[in-house]
Amino acid sequence: MSVCFVDEVATREILLRVTNVCGECYCDLKEGDPIYYDLEHYRYLCEVCYEKIKEEMNDQREVFEEGGLFEL
């Protein structure tokens, strides 16, 4: 899972030069917040959205694995 996201701490540089809002829910990111860079969609996520998307991806993987078993 950590392959798709890079966890960082929001710095002034990131907030000024890249984004100061979450790419998913558009909540404000603040200096010192844990933020997660989404390598697939090139955006930063807040912790809440990261956890949510991580769970969704886990669900999808389970479905995929079940589908793989079904093919056997």
For Zn ion, the binding residues (CB under 5 A) are 22, 24-25, 46, 49
Coil/strand/helix, residue 25: coil
In the bound state with Zn ion, the residue whose beta carbon lies nearer, of 28 and 62, is: 28
Q: How far apart are CA 19 and CA 52, in angstroms?
A: 20
Nearer to Zn ion, 10 or 49 (CB): 49
CB of 52 to Zn ion, least distance (A): 8
> Would you say the C-alpha torsion 8, 9, 10, 14 has a positive or negative sign?
negative
| Closest CB to Zn ion among residues 26, 64 | 26
